[in-house]
Amino acid sequence: MILNILKYPDKRLRTIAKPVVRVNKTIKQQVKDMFETMYEATGIGLAATQVNFHQRIIVIDISDQYNEPICLINPEIIEESGEIQCEEGCLSVPDYYEIVVRANDIKVKALNQNGESFELEASEMLSVCIQHEIDHLNGILFVDHLSKLKQKRLKKQTAKKAKIL
């Protein structure tokens, strides 16, 4: 099922997601729906917060063919190093891209969609994507990493678009 993606500046995007207690049928269906929604929107990552489901779940697929899905439930970065500057965009902030500085290399531990614990080492684009989506779970948007001036401009742009629609 395709879910509705919340758009900036929707206040629900600031909700801090709660840990998943048990990976059950509901959680598995949510993961399936999130992948479907992300692929439909031609995104490379989606956090449950973005679809108004406030549990710690992210789905990612940075492959060109959308054939390398990664699900992270209760993701936690346990190591990070290096630095990378990367242009980021967001399904919740459509048509807006800016350079953000993040850790280049990370190690994350999480549960998969079957509730099994695993660790994943990521670098470059995958690392950036995981950090971006974990930020969503913490009520943080990539625009929060920008200067106050750029944030102000984005708010004006968003307000203008809202009036047009």
Catalytic residue IDs: 133
Q: How far apart are CA 53 and CA 76, in angstroms?
A: 18
Q: β-strand 117-123 against 93-102: which pairing, if any?
A: unpaired
> CA angle 13-14-19, nearest 5°?
90
Residues 64 and 67: their CA atoms lie apart, in Å, by 8
The beta-strand segments (E) located in the chain are: 45-47, 57-60, 70-81, 84-90, 93-102, 105-111, 117-123
